[in-house]
A and B are shown apart, each in its own frame.
Chain A
Amino acid sequence: MPMIFGIPVQALMGQLLVGLINGSFYALLSLGLAVIFGLLRVINFAHGAQYMLGAFVALLVQTWLGLNYWFALILAPLIVGAFGALVERSMLSRLYKLDHLYGLLFTFGLALTLEGLFRWQFGASGQPYAPPPALTGGVNLGFMFLPLYRGWVVVASLVICLAVWALIEKTRLGATLRAATENPVMVQSFGINVPMLLTLTYALGAGLAALAGVLAAPIYQVSPLMGSNIIIVVFAVVVVGGMGSIMGAIVTGYLLGIAEGLTKVFYPEASNIVIFVIMAIVLILRPAGLFGKEA
């Protein structure tokens, strides 16, 4: 059997694929963060909580209303997005004039509150959520057994990431949005409702987090802690990619997922710090991140 650094190629291929799957979640979550930071200049610490909310919406619409996974995939982003819009309108928008730190503290407090409420209501241990019947089982790729559901996650997240990127970089709406953050007064004078645009942007970011939550529900336990477990890694992804760079967040998400997967083969004990080591190195060599513009 061919080997690379003493590891059979087959095993390595499996780990690369697993890394890609995890990278999909990192990419999807860091995308939402990058959108919110890039356009609103808010460091959204509630992103993990919104991801958790998405998973819980999927679980609850199933137990209360009997709605299946595919409905949840549409409903959860809408519900959590609407909740995000409400939060932005009633509270977060009041902080734009102040230092970034206030937005960070507010969203951090919001995350802790949401997590606390869910822990109180549902307990800290997870609840199971079954994958849709059409996506159970898997295919044998020769070098590994690929669960169909995980394959679906990779495809779905790639499509969503590219769609969001195109929406912001290639459409008229995206151009208006970017203009509104560059010079809100000028854009407003063209008769465009800038506060409404910002609210929609925040709702979009929150909805993306919720979508990732629904995708994650069948893989991980749906638990109040699932957001705080992943959010720190996602922030590292955004920092490495370059704060506010949307394509940077997507590419870095996948890359770091793969880097983490490879670490699990060569030195598993380091697998939960490797991303931060990379972050430190990138910050030293390129403080603006891999894809960020030098300030």
Chain B
Amino acid sequence: MKKILMTVGAGALMASAAHAEISDNVVKIGILNDQSGPYSALGGVGSVDAARMAVEDFGGTVQGAPIEIVGADHQNKADVGATIARQWYDTEKVDAIMDLTTSSVALAVQALSGEKGKIDIVTGGGTTELTGKACTPYSFHWAYDTHALAVGTGEQVVKQGGDSWFFLTADYAFGYSLEENTSKTVEAAGGKVLGSVRHPLNNTDYSAFLLQAQASGAKVIGLASAGLDTQNAIKQAAEFGITQGGQSLAGLLLFITDVHGLGLQTAQGLYLTEGFYWDRDDQSREFATRFKERNGGMPSMIHASTYSAVLQYLKAIDAAGGDDSTAVAAKLKEMPVDDVFGRGVKVAANGRLMNTQYLMQVKTPEESTGEWDYFKILAEIPGEEAYMDPAQSGCPLVQ
């Protein structure tokens, strides 16, 4: 009897010792993104569910402590996002925040996370500033960034003869960054930028902007926007005879959810650069099928990379033996990411995941064999080519 009691006691002691390394005895991850606006289909509640899938696949507990996922809608407003993040960190025991679609919100929350010594992994936001001058010891960037989009789609379009550009740019951090990166790529490849016009985020009518682009005479109209904004611009360009007039469109950030919304008839032939396509291989098809059963549609790059970010964060906690931010951040930079999204790739010193990007083209209705069969993979761009050299990124941690 005495022996049994001792064993139980020792077991309890060991359990509490393990728990002691997990703050508040729970690992809580917040998914903060646009859940009702123009970016809600490409991330939104689908990202929250992708995070839950990662927790289930991990086993539901880490170092003996339960794992919880919470989600919230930042409405694409930096102040709303920062307020929610502050509340999560200060009173709701949230340990890390992920997704962070919309670069302006991501920058605000990343600054706050750095101040509080909490980890954030951006999967939805795109500006290179996140791993540049805004990087912190606790910040990470998964999925993609505006540099990768410029290298992928921008370079490909110039190669096809599109050497003069006019930009329709979403009027906030992401749009500026995408326009700037793409302009550099276009000019480096020998092309010219003839002009640009900035439209508000969540704009519905593009005819006025398209007419200006048409008047510029540029061969390519670059859409430095995302989500519903890009969809509406592409649809209305077809209506105003832009493509019949000899100009072509470059949707610099297109997601599978956008192509689904546009239909192949309108979207066919467009080039796009993404870090994930569900029909890439058996592993991605297995994940996508599970995701579709739960959410009704195929996962976008944001969904798949949020899954990966959550899974890797949990693996890092496990490896570090606790959820202390400094130890977990060190593990994140040390361990390669090997899952459905990142296959054996590493995180650079500025927090950038050096994952592969895929240059793809939207299939024609004839080429497509079924629902969600949308893309042809034209080329794989290794992370080292797609992303800025960390030493050049301007991140203070690297210099």
Write the residues of chain A forming the contact surface with B, with a CB cutoff of 8 angstroms. 8, 10-11, 14-15, 18-19, 21-22, 119, 123-128, 130-131, 138, 144-145, 147, 149-150, 219-221, 223, 225-226, 229-230, 261, 264-265, 268-269, 271-272
Stretch at the interface among B113-121, B127-135, B206-214, B274-282: B206-214
Distance in Å: Cβ of A88 to nearest Cβ of chain B: 28
Task: From the candidates A11, A124, A271, name the one contacting B215 in the complex (CB within 8 A).
Answer: A11
Q: Which B residues lie within 8 Å of A150 (CB)?
A: 207, 239
Distance in Å: Cβ of B97 to nearest Cβ of chain A: 22
Q: Which A residues lie within 8 Å of B38 (CB)?
A: 225
- B261 with A127: CB separation less than 8 A: yes
- A125 with B257: CB separation less than 8 A: yes
Q: Does B333 contact A (CB under 8 A)?
A: no
Output the nearest chain A residue to B227 by Cβ-Cβ distance: A125
Q: Does B297 contact A (CB under 8 A)?
A: yes
Distance in Å: Cβ of A190 to nearest Cβ of chain B: 46
Q: Does B391 contact A (CB under 8 A)?
A: no
- B231 with A124: CB separation less than 8 A: no
Interchain residue pairs with CB less than 8 A apart (29): A11-B211, A11-B215, A15-B208, A18-B207, A19-B208, A22-B207, A123-B41, A124-B40, A125-B228, A125-B260, A126-B232, A131-B239, A138-B239, A138-B240, A138-B241, A144-B211, A145-B240, A147-B240, A147-B241, A150-B239, A219-B236, A221-B231, A221-B235, A225-B36, A225-B228, A261-B208, A265-B208, A271-B208, A272-B203
A128-B235, A138-B241 known; A14-B211 Cβ under 8 A: yes
- A223 with B205: CB separation less than 8 A: no
Q: Which B residues lie within 8 Å of A261 (CB)?
A: 208
Task: From the candidates A124, A149, A264, name the one contacting B239 in the complex (CB within 8 A).
Answer: A149
Q: Which B residues lie within 8 Å of A126 (CB)?
A: 228, 231-232, 261
Q: Which B residues lie within 8 Å of A145 (CB)?
A: 214, 240-241, 245
**Could you list 8 further interchain pairs (A-B, Cβ under 8 angstroms) beyond the known A18-B207, A128-B262?**
A18-B205, A150-B239, A229-B202, A229-B204, A268-B197, A268-B198, A268-B208, A269-B171
Q: Does B263 contact A (CB under 8 A)?
A: yes
Task: From the candidates A128, A223, A268, name the one contacting B228 in the complex (CB within 8 A).
Answer: A223
Output the nearest chain B residue to A218 by Cβ-Cβ distance: B239
Q: Which A residues lie within 8 Å of B228 (CB)?
A: 124-126, 221, 223, 225
Q: Which B residues lie within 8 Å of A230 (CB)?
A: 204
- A264 with B235: CB separation less than 8 A: no
Output the nearest chain B residue to A270 by Cβ-Cβ distance: B200
Distance in Å: Cβ of A275 to nearest Cβ of chain B: 12
Q: Which B residues lie within 8 Å of A265 (CB)?
A: 208, 212
Q: How far is the CA of A144 from the CA of B228 in the complex (A)?
A: 25
Q: How far is the CA of A264 from the CA of B197 in the complex (A)?
A: 9
Write the residues of chain B forming the contact surface with A, with a CB cutoff of 8 angstroms. 36-38, 40-42, 44, 171, 197-200, 202-205, 207-209, 211-212, 214-215, 227-228, 231-232, 235-236, 239-241, 245, 257-258, 260-263, 265-266, 296-297
Distance in Å: Cβ of A105 to nearest Cβ of chain B: 20
- B211 with A22: CB separation less than 8 A: no
Q: How far is the CA of A125 from the CA of B41 in the complex (A)?
A: 5
Q: How far is the CA of A130 from the CA of B239 in the complex (A)?
A: 10
Q: Which A residues lie within 8 Å of B200 (CB)?
A: 269, 271-272
Closest 10 CB pairs of A and B: A125-B41, A264-B208, A124-B40, A125-B261, A272-B200, A145-B241, A128-B263, A18-B207, A147-B239, A14-B211
Q: How far is the CA of A111 from the CA of B242 in the complex (A)?
A: 36
Highest count of chain A CB atoms <10 Å: which of B197, B227, B245, B261:
B261
Q: How far is the CA of A225 from the CA of B228 in the complex (A)?
A: 10
Output the nearest chain A residue to B34 by Cβ-Cβ distance: A124
A221-B228, A221-B232, A271-B199 known; A125-B258 Cβ under 8 A: yes
Q: Which A residues lie within 8 Å of B262 (CB)?
A: 128
Distance in Å: Cβ of B10 to nearest Cβ of chain A: 51
Q: Which A residues lie within 8 Å of B208 (CB)?
A: 15, 18-19, 261, 264-265, 268, 271
Q: Which B residues lie within 8 Å of A18 (CB)?
A: 205, 207-208, 211
- B245 with A225: CB separation less than 8 A: no
A145-B240, A147-B241 known; A123-B232 Cβ under 8 A: no
- B239 with A219: CB separation less than 8 A: yes
- A128 with B261: CB separation less than 8 A: yes
- A21 with B207: CB separation less than 8 A: yes
Q: Which A residues lie within 8 Å of B263 (CB)?
A: 128
- B44 with A124: CB separation less than 8 A: yes
Q: How far is the CA of A124 from the CA of B202 in the complex (A)?
A: 13
Output the nearest chain A residue to B39 by Cβ-Cβ distance: A124
- B36 with A226: CB separation less than 8 A: no
Q: Which A residues lie within 8 Å of B232 (CB)?
A: 126, 220-221
Q: How far is the CA of A252 from the CA of B321 in the complex (A)?
A: 66
Q: Which B residues lie within 8 Å of A22 (CB)?
A: 205, 207
A138-B240, A268-B197 known; A125-B231 Cβ under 8 A: yes
Distance in Å: Cβ of B166 to nearest Cβ of chain A: 13
Q: Which B residues lie within 8 Å of A8 (CB)?
A: 215
Distance in Å: Cβ of B163 to nearest Cβ of chain A: 24
Output the nearest chain A residue to B168 by Cβ-Cβ distance: A268
Q: How far is the CA of A269 from the CA of B260 in the complex (A)?
A: 29
Q: Which B residues lie within 8 Å of A229 (CB)?
A: 202, 204
Q: Which B residues lie within 8 Å of A15 (CB)?
A: 208, 211
Distance in Å: Cβ of B292 to nearest Cβ of chain A: 13
Q: How far is the CA of A19 from the CA of B211 in the complex (A)?
A: 12
